[in-house]
Amino acid sequence: MPGGVDIAVAADRPAGGPGELSSSAGSPVRLRRRWLHNRSLVAGGTILIVFAIAGACAPLVAGHNPLAQDAAPLANPSWHHLLGTDQLGRDVWARLVYSIRIDLSVALGAVALPFIAGTAIGLLAGYFGTAVDALVMRIGEIVLAFPFNVLVLALVFVMGSGVVSVLVAFTVTGWISYTIIVRGQVLTERHQEYVLAAQLLGYSRRRILLRHVLPNVVTQAIVYAMSDVVLTTASIVALGFLGLGITPPTPEWGSMISDGTPFLTTHPVLAAAPGVAVVIVGFGLSLIGDGLADLMRIE
């Protein structure tokens, strides 16, 4: 995740008490109705589903091969080329649609991996405490001292550009935010009666951590992940713009913006369109985040 950015925002949200995921608030039907009545969640979900379907059915939606350089370069938008063509004669709309596949999946991966790693580390550090905890927090402080782009660029520099490097870089920089959130929650949960009861029953540590503690501490991390994914998507596009993320000729929003830059005055749509796509996706994701935060607060 980019820097330590939204920790403050995530912390502003009231912490949920134990048992918030294992909701006792009624039947699955009522739960589903509450989800469907949450306007943010429905609107954000719709945006994201539309994008996901467009990405999945890209060959149908795009209408052209995103790599084919068979049209006149820098053509204006027309019925045949909805958003015109770029300087190499590639259909801009097709490239835009195909970019959904790579950008969305890399963004989700770049949030899921630090989420999993950070939650696991936070769980262990919070539960076992002492030396492990101190070491983890020290390493975290060092990671947080590096401005996000600097660390990501340095890591991409070490490993070379490409999807794998981007994912590793986001995991190395992002885990600490999740660890801080989860660790803090575990520290309070650790002494709750249900944990003590599980210990008295002789359950294994693994079972206590995964079956009892985890469901009660993961909510905050999920809410944070939703604001994280918005910034991560924008950052991946920025990396692509710098030429250090996903490598060409794979259609990708960031490199599309960068390719369109020289034609800003004559063909602004080349650089503008991919950015609009990113903003709409980001808006959808942050609506989902708000909706989830609301729901979890109620539950």
For residue 266, state whether it binds other proteins (rule: CB under 8 A).
no
Question: Alpha-carbon distance 270 to 136, whole Å?
Answer: 45
Question: Alpha-carbon distance 257 to 268, whole Å?
Answer: 10
Six token digits for residue 128: 């076992």
Question: Is the CB of 175 or the CB of 253 nearer to other proteins?
Answer: 253
Task: Report how far apart, in Å, the C-alpha atoms of 207 and of each of 178, 192, 195 are.
Answer: 21, 16, 11
Cα 147–254–170 angle (5° rounding)? 40
SS3 64: coil
Question: Alpha-carbon distance 266 to 154, whole Å?
Answer: 35
For residue 285, state whether it binds other proteins (rule: CB under 8 A).
yes
- What minimum distance in Å lies between the beta carbon of 129 and other proteins? 19
> 214 CB contacts (<8 Å, ≥6 apart)?
119, 123
Among 62, 156, 226, 293, binds other proteins (CB under 8 A): 156
For residue 16, state whether it binds other proteins (rule: CB under 8 A).
no
Question: Is the CB of 209 or the CB of 256 nearer to other proteins?
Answer: 256
For residue 291, state whether it binds other proteins (rule: CB under 8 A).
no
Question: Which residues share a beta bridge with 91?
Answer: 85
Only segment of 48-56, 85-93, 114-122, 144-152 that touches other proteins (CB under 8 A): 144-152
Question: Which residues share a beta bridge with 85?
Answer: 91
Contacts to other proteins from residues 159-218, by CB under 8 A: none
Only segment of 15-23, 109-117, 211-219, 251-259 that touches other proteins (CB under 8 A): 251-259
Question: Is the CB of 31 or the CB of 167 nearer to other proteins?
Answer: 167
In SS3 terms, 177-234 reads as HHHHHHHHHHHHHCCCHHHHHHHHCCCCHHHHHHHHHHHHHHHHHHHHHHHHHHHHHH
Place of tokens 């309070």: 188
Question: Is the CB of 209 or the CB of 226 nearer to other proteins?
Answer: 226
Among 49, 53, 145, 196, binds other proteins (CB under 8 A): 145
Among 24, 29, 79, 142, binds other proteins (CB under 8 A): 142
Only segment of 14-22, 65-73, 124-132, 239-247 that touches other proteins (CB under 8 A): 239-247
Question: Alpha-carbon distance 65 to 84, whole Å?
Answer: 14
Phi then psi for residue 2, to 5 deg, are -65, 110
For residue 224, state whether it binds other proteins (rule: CB under 8 A).
no
Give contact residues for other proteins (rule: CB under 8 A).
Answer: 2-9, 12, 138-139, 141-142, 144-151, 153-154, 156-158, 227, 230-231, 233-235, 237-238, 241-244, 253-254, 257-258, 261, 264-265, 268, 271-272, 274-275, 278-279, 281-283, 285-287, 290
